[in-house]
Amino acid sequence: MVLEETILTPGKPAALLRARRAGTLDWSTVALNVALPVLGVVFALVLGAILLVILRANPLAAYAALVNGAVGTRFGATQTLVKATPLLLVGLGICIAFRANVINIGGEGQIIIGALAATWWPLAFSTWPGWLLIPSTMIAGFLGGAIWGFIPGILKARLNVNEILSTIMLNAVALQLMNLLLQGPLMDPAGVKARTFLAQSAQLPAQVWLPRLVPRTLLHAGAIVAVVLAILVYVFLWRTTIGYQIRAVGLNPHASRYSGITVPTVQALSLTLAGAFAGLAGTVEVIGVQHRLLEGLTSGYGFTGIVAALLGSLHPIGLIPASILFGGLLVGADTMQRAVQVPSSLVDALLGLVVLFVSGSALWSRRWAARRGIGAQRDQESGVESDRDSVRESGQESGQGSGQEEAP
């Protein structure tokens, strides 16, 4: 019954048109999209402080150490940007996927596969000059991640496999694949010779290392690449036909289908792109920071990238400050652990609370928007929402979806 109503309601095309116009700025919406996430972070920090008091740690000292670590020193501040870079890249992919209403939890695995490709390529073509090797390595990493996003994408499009579950499983597969290669063909020959057998690759040829932006820090040119890509993704999502289709599918899959968009293909494409951007995140970690592949490279960026994307309201430009914020939290958490012995996992727990808060506040912001008349007709606004929710089912079992919805 959802089906008939939403498709036949004349307001539906308006919803799509609104999606097209969403690129133009509505300042009160922007304010709301900034205020709610900030509130979420504050809320999480307050809860964290209460928790620290219960655990007999000093929350003020802990947070002071955190802020000081993140921005207090020149090295800390550049480290914040170093960590923000992969978060931004992963988050861009998450934006694209979530906009198409595809939940990509596979960032970790896609980062790994991208990093694997970005390690293998320069080692295999180590004689190439830097101007050729750097771009080609980035393409290799991009494609590597894309493959790891394409698998769940095609499984969802063709066989109705739930992408949340398949991407989670593929994370584990990618991790083992990396272990396998690091203990075999990719293992550092120097380590084999010295009989240390460390699970890491050989150092990459120096001409593939990304140039450092600030001397004696780890800040590398990948940060600039990430910001440029954020702008490109914005243009892609709001100024191209495919980008429009991606957003339309996310807003209303039924209406999209009726207007001739191949919903499964668009969703598979958005998952592939999400994987590609995560792969690029792995690439810049390898050629920008570590200069080799080693275990623990992902550092949970695949998950933190989701938080950053949500906090940036799934907007590529909003993602830039959001990923810097989380980069700072990650850097500060390490300082906090060293300085006042509060485990850095506090920040992990707080990130979870932020996600819960932001996802839970969507209802309020929707109602608020409806009251202000942004949505014009509240019914349609909520109709869009219930369609968003049903997309996963109809995507999963299209054979059953229609029958069921017609029954009542």
Partner 1 sequence: MKNVFSVAVISGILNTMVGLATPFLYAALGETIAQTSGVVNLGVDGIMLLAAFTAFAVALFSGSLWLGLLAAAVAGLLLGLLMSFVSVTLKAEQGVSGIGLYMFGLGMSSLLFKILIGTVKTVQGFPPVAIPLLADIPVVGPILFRNNVLVYGAFLLVPVVWWLLEKTTLGLKIKSVGQNPAAADSVGISVDGIRYLSVCLGAVLAGIAGASLSISLLNLFQDNLTAGQGFIAVALVYFGGWSPVGVLGGALLFSVVNSFQLWVQVLGVKIPSSVAVMLPYILTIAALTVTINRMRQPAALNRPFERGET
Interface residue list for partner 1 (CB under 8 A): 1-2, 5, 55, 57, 103, 105, 155, 159-162, 164-166, 168-173, 176-177, 179-180, 183-184, 303, 306-307, 310, 343, 345-356, 359-364, 382-383, 386, 388-390, 392-393, 396-397, 400, 404-405, 408
What secondary structure letter does DSSP report for 220?
A: B
Tokens linked to 209: 């290392």
- For partner 1, which is the closer residue by CB, 118 or 170? 170
The answer to whether 211 and 221 are in contact (CB under 8 A) is yes
Q: Alpha-carbon distance 301 to 291, whole Å?
A: 18
- For partner 1, which is the closer residue by CB, 162 or 299? 162
Backbone φ and ψ for 139, nearest 5 degrees, come out as -65, -40
Q: Alpha-carbon distance 318 to 309, whole Å?
A: 8
- For partner 1, which is the closer residue by CB, 17 or 389? 389
Q: Residue 154's CB: how many other CB atoms inside 10 A? A: 16
Backbone φ and ψ for 71, nearest 5 degrees, come out as -130, -5
Least distance to partner 1, CB of residue 212, Å? 32
Tokens linked to 248: 């339309």
Q: Alpha-carbon distance 174 to 165, whole Å?
A: 14
Residues 6+ apart with CB under 8 A from 30: none
Least distance to partner 1, CB of residue 301, Å? 13
Q: Alpha-carbon distance 211 to 202, whole Å?
A: 19
- For partner 1, which is the closer residue by CB, 285 or 405? 405
Least distance to partner 1, CB of residue 292, Å? 19
DSSP-based three-state secondary structure for 122: helix
Least distance to partner 1, CB of residue 142, Å? 23
Q: Residue 374's CB: how many other CB atoms inside 10 A? A: 15
Q: Which residue has the tokens 């790891």?
A: 148
Least distance to partner 1, CB of residue 147, Å? 15
Strands (E) located in 191-318: none
Least distance to partner 1, CB of residue 128, Å? 30
Q: Alpha-carbon distance 324 to 84, whole Å?
A: 5
- For partner 1, which is the closer residue by CB, 189 or 408? 408
- For partner 1, which is the closer residue by CB, 240 or 402? 402
Helices (H), 55-106: 59-67, 74-99
- For partner 1, which is the closer residue by CB, 210 or 307? 307
- For partner 1, which is the closer residue by CB, 228 or 356? 356
Least distance to partner 1, CB of residue 393, Å? 6
Tokens linked to 338: 């060293």
Q: Residue 390's CB: how many other CB atoms inside 10 A? A: 18
Least distance to partner 1, CB of residue 18, Å? 19
